[in-house]
């Protein structure tokens, strides 16, 4: 049975069909929650709460998007709620993270290259993870969905209920902020090796 048939059956109260949909998406939801919470227990709680909310709201699922997009929206809201409850997320403006000369009044944009290349080095990966965690979630979440979950910009826009241009802008701002932090980090490590 394909996903669309499962969606239709689940909307009509078929719990077995809903369970199949959960199985299809639970690993991706868990990976997202783990990347964002950095804690297995919190990630497991977020996944469990996501699917409990989905069961309660399945009658609200209209089928206009895929089940995966719909469940991701619920998961993101659950994860954001977790951070709001625990006050773990710092509240900073993006300008706090942008490199000098790339703030509100700058038209200059530059290419950073492929973020996947940087993710290969574990130490750098840990630095990137921590930087994303400290970044406001309206920038870090689109970045994570794009480069770590490899979703299309259109899918991300649907999940976050944004326009495609707004989604692209948020991904770019996250890249710019992360680029500056990573450049500073690499420069600092380079000068430590020279000593």
pLDDT at residue 161 greater than cutoff 70: yes
CA distance 101 to 119: 26
Tokens representing residue 127 in the block: 């630095």
pTM above 0.85, yes or no: no
Q: Which two tokens stand for residue 90?
A: 């710092």
Look at domain 94-194 and name its CATH class.
Answer: mainly alpha
CA distance 135 to 140: 6
Cα separation of 54 and 15, whole Å? 12
pLDDT at position 103 over 50: no
Who wins on pLDDT, 138 or 38? 138
Domain boundaries for CATH 1.10.10.10 within the chain: 94-194
Give the Å distances, CA to CA, from 5 to 2, 8, 70, 89, 162.
6, 5, 16, 39, 27
The highest-level CATH class for domain 3-86 is mainly alpha
Axis-axis angle for helices 153-160, 164-194 (nearest 10): 110
Reported as a pLDDT band with limits 50, 70 and 90, residue 92 is very low
The whole-number pLDDT of residue 90 equals 45
């Amino acid at each position: 049975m394909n996903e669309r048939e499962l969606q239709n059956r689940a909307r009509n109260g078929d719990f077995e069909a809903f369970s199949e949909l959960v199985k299809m998406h639970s690993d991706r939801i868990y990976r997202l929650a783990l990347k964002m919470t950095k804690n297995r227990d919190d990630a497991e709680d977020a996944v469990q709460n996501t699917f409990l909310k989905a069961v309660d709201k399945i009658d609200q699922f209209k089928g206009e998007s895929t089940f995966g997009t719909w469940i991701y929206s619920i998961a993101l809201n659950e994860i954001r709620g977790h951070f709001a409850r625990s006050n773990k997320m710092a509240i900073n403006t993006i300008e706090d993270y942008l490199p000098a000369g790339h703030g509100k009044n700058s038209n200059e944009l530059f290419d950073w290259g492929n973020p996947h290349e940087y993710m290969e080095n574990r130490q750098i990966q840990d630095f990137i993870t921590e930087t994303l965690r400290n970044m406001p979630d309206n920038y870090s979440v689109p970045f994570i969905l794009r480069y770590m979950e490899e979703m299309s910009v259109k899918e991300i826009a649907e999940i976050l209920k944004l326009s495609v241009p707004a989604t692209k802008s948020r991904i770019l701002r996250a890249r710019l902020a992360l680029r500056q932090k990573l450049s500073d980090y690499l420069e600092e490590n380079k000068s430590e090796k020279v000593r």
